[in-house]
Amino acid sequence: MARLATVRNSSWLVSAALHLLFLIILALLTYRLGGTERGLLIEGAWSGPDSTTPLESVTLAEATADNQSEQLDLPVEVDLSVVSKHVANASIIAPQQASAVQDNALVGLQTGGATTAAERVVFLGGGGLSARTPEGRKKYGDRYGATRQSEMAVENALRWLAEHQREDGSWSFDLRLSPCDGRCRDGKKANDDTPTPSTAATGLALLAFLGAGYTPEVGPYQEVVQRGLYYLRSTAAESEFGYDWQQGGSMYGQGIALMAISEALGMTKHEDRFDSDLYHYAERGTRFTVIAQHQSGSWGYTPGSPGDTTLTGWQILSLIGARKAGIETRSDTFTRAKEFLMSVREGPEFQFGYRTPKAEKTTTAIALTLLIYLGQTPGHTLFDEAIDKLAEQGPTLTNVYHDYYATLALHHFRHRDWESWNNQLRDHLVRTQATEGHEAGSWHFRDQWGDVGGRVYTTAMCALTLEVYYRFLPLYDEPPDFPL
């Protein structure tokens, strides 16, 4: 009996020791649970002195170029053994989560003081797609300044775009190709080697149709939109990091294609039912874009390379569109993107550069728009003054890249000078739209961006500008219904 008691006591001691060891491990591993009734945020981290934790994940090897170098667009090699610290410490935020997201990018720069952990940024409920209906076009067009002539210009532009869709469902910036066969002037320049992937042309054209409320299920261009989406699905290159729409090394193709896929997904959702195929491509495309972000928070022409304000703009808007459509995004992606934008700010004013803090007019319009989407609200003096300056300078009337982003910013901001800005730009676009021959319904203005993308790019951007009234509900108006 004494021997049996000794054996039992030994077993008990071994069990107690194992349980104690397990509790010590749990004590080192801490978790935080947050969120609201519409979503959860779970974060985990080791509490020991070494906070780096290896995860089963992959990232892109860092480009060797400095962020301010002129040699920025360097290709990067994929190294599966590298796991970056920011990925190891990142969490996933569900798109339905309405709670504030911690932000350290704008605080201090806004207030003039030090960055504090108490400052937070929220994704607002506005900016949805629910006005993209015949009723919405009438209601919000009347409210914000559309006219019968501007709506006719949109329809003429969409007709021109539909006539220039290729047999495989794509669009090309090169109008020498069929079906145009060179009948329209001002296509992509013959000797220009700037990457202009068909995924970017196709995504941009699709965004114009979607902005007018036309989907594979609704409107007179159902087949056009369906074929365009099919082309994007068919050209998505499978990679270990998700779906890649670069086509020859241009993240413009990635961002614009993902934005079109995400908007189509959001517009075809019906309560809990959605197109599972579109969701699959949006989710995998989002993953690729997130991983392609450079450590500076920017996106470059190639994944993982230091980037610029224009490329970063398309990626941010595409990820916000994916998030609104129900796709999960990593918690630090938007914060790091803000950090990049503020790194190219020529302070103390809110004026922004391309890759450095040397402010330019177009990049300032882009950055101001992105900051509004990323949670910057009216009421901060320097930011409000930058928006005022944007309105006071007026539209360029030829640089559609600037005018498109500036129009978005003023629309979402509900600026007091909106009517003056809108009347000038809207009426100019109506007057300058081509009305004769094969070019009827299109636009082209000669400038550094317009000459790269040509007439397809200019026409799509002008149509999107004239759709601003109903394309997105204003971010700072109370949304009348649940936004998509």
Rounded to whole angstroms, the Cα distance separating 329 from 338 reads 15
pLDDT reading at 85 higher than 70 = no
Q: Which two tokens stand for residue 53?
A: 């934790």
pLDDT reading at 1 higher than 70 = no
In tens, the pLDDT along 10-60 reads: 555 556 666 666 555 544 443 333 333 333 333 333 333 333 333 233 333
Under 8 Å between Cβ of 209 and 258: no
Rounded to whole angstroms, the Cα distance separating 78 from 59 reads 7
Task: Provide the percentage of residues in the chain whose pLDDT is more than 90.
Answer: 63
What residue ranges define each of the domains in the chain, with the CATH number in brackets? Answer: 134-471 (1.50.10.20)
User: What pLDDT score was predicted for residue 238?
Assistant: 94
User: What pLDDT score was predicted for residue 190?
Assistant: 64
pLDDT reading at 405 higher than 70 = yes
- Provide the pLDDT confidence category of residue 67 given band limits of 50, 70 and 90: very low
297 sits in the region (left: phi over 0; alpha: psi -120 to 50; else beta) called left
pLDDT reading at 109 higher than 50 = no
pLDDT reading at 73 higher than 70 = no
pLDDT reading at 83 higher than 60 = no
Of 328-332, 412-416, 432-436, the one with minimum mean pLDDT is 328-332
How confident is the model over 374-398, as a mean pLDDT? 93
Q: Mean pLDDT across the chain, nearest whole number?
A: 79
pLDDT reading at 279 higher than 60 = yes
Task: Give me the amino acid identity at 385.
Answer: E
**C-alpha dihedral sign at 109, 111, 117, 122:** negative
Q: Which two tokens stand for residue 355?
A: 């890759």
User: What pLDDT score was predicted for residue 451?
Assistant: 80
Q: Which residue has the higher pLDDT, 481 or 342?
A: 342
Instruction: For 311-349, give one letter per residue: b (16+ CB within 10 A) or e.
Output: bbbbbbbbbbbbbbbbbbbbbbbbbbbbbbbbbbbeeee
User: What pLDDT score was predicted for residue 186?
Assistant: 85
pLDDT reading at 72 higher than 50 = no
**Closest residue by Cα to residue 371 from 345, 403, 389:** 345
Taking the CA atoms of the chain, what radius of gyration do you get in angstroms? Answer: 25
